[in-house]
Structure 1
């Protein structure tokens, strides 16, 4: 994370430096972007840069932390649901909010996978812990498996699904159009991706022999 001297910079200056770095990492990749070119584009000397960050990886960590923070804000905190139907509705709404954010923030889209990859602990895991706790309270999620294990596995499944969906968005399999202008084909692809994720979660969350009870499997309804 940034060194204390960086935190003492005016907020506008901090945002400018991190914004320039984010664009470079998004354009050239988190592994290939040049530290020297980033600090040159940000208008800071190499000496000053090392007063702000320990090096390239430290700067990358700060950038990815910002991406993760924006993803979490788009997702919103998990609010306990009144019933099972609202539980699934909230989950779908959160997923939709993330997609909407990524549609309109291409730098975050390019770096989302890397940001999620360093989010094993902290607020991201806390969000899944709240989700699992609420699901167990409502009877949506099994209680015969350790809570911590369910949180870990749920986060891993969603992480894998996110990586798959993000790759499709970046390669154009699901065109990153704004939600209001999404084509019928893109909307159908996004719906298919979401249904596959819900199916995975239902299978994992259901106790042995229990039928999925989310009431939202529209593919079966059709």
Structure 2
């Protein structure tokens, strides 16, 4: 993670550093991206760069954290629904916002594959809890298991979406049928 001095930079300067690094990592990946090229493009000295980050891996971790923050911002906070119709509408609206963000920010999409360690619970837990409360999501399954299984479906869907968008194909809403299958009560058809 960034060193304390990075957080004391002006917001515009931090965003510039993350934007330039994001472009390099999205294009070249962690292994092939050059810390020296990123530093040179930013017009800062190596000494300055090492005052902000311990090295390339540290900068990469900051970029991935920023990508996830940007994705969460695009999703917006979950607003509890009072009915199944409202629940699915809000979930689809959140997905549309995320898709619009992905289309507008292809570097974020390219970095989804590198972000396997990010915990989806900050956004997903309120969704699952709301769905369980209103009967959209089965409550006979342990909450943590349902949350983990839902996160796995959404993580896989994110990777699939990234691949579709990189091919220039807008993804279909098939993810919802996968989630509906996971979340539906066993006696529903």
Residue in 1 aligned with 2:11? Answer: 11
1:84-99 paired onto structure 2 within 5 Å: 84-99=84-99
The count of corresponding residues between Structure 1 and Structure 2 is: 189
Which residue in the other structure is 1:136 paired with? 132
Give the corresponding residue for 2:121: 125
Write out the 4+ residue segments of structure 1 that deviate beyond 4 Å after TM superposition.
none
Q: TM-score, normalised by structure 2?
A: 0.94
* Within-5 A mapping of 1:140-159: 140-159=136-155
Aligned residue number for residue 53 of structure 2? 53
Show structure 2 runs of 5+ residues with no match: none
Q: Paired residue for 1:161?
A: 157
Query: CA offsets per residue over residues 28-69 of structure 1, 9 Å max, x none?
Result: 123321111111111121222111111111100111111111
The answer to whether 1:31 aligns with 2:27 is no
Partners of 1:29 and 1:89 in 2: CA distance: 36
- Whole-Å separation in 1 of the counterparts to 2:129 and 2:18: 35
- Residue 155 of structure 1 and its aligned partner are, at CA, apart by 0.8
Asked if the contact 1:25–1:111 (Cα under 8 Å) also holds between the matched residues in 2, the reply is yes
Pairwise CA distance, 1:143: 0.7
Q: Structure 1 CA distance, aligned partners of 2:100 and 2:87?
A: 20
Q: Secondary structure at the match of 2:114?
A: helix
Structure 1, gaps ≥5 residues long:
175-185, 212-222
Q: Whole-Å Cα distance in 2 between the matches of residues 125 and 149 of structure 1?
A: 12
1:207 aligns with 2:185: yes
Q: CA deviation at 1:130?
A: 0.4
* Alignment root-mean-square deviation, CA: 1.4
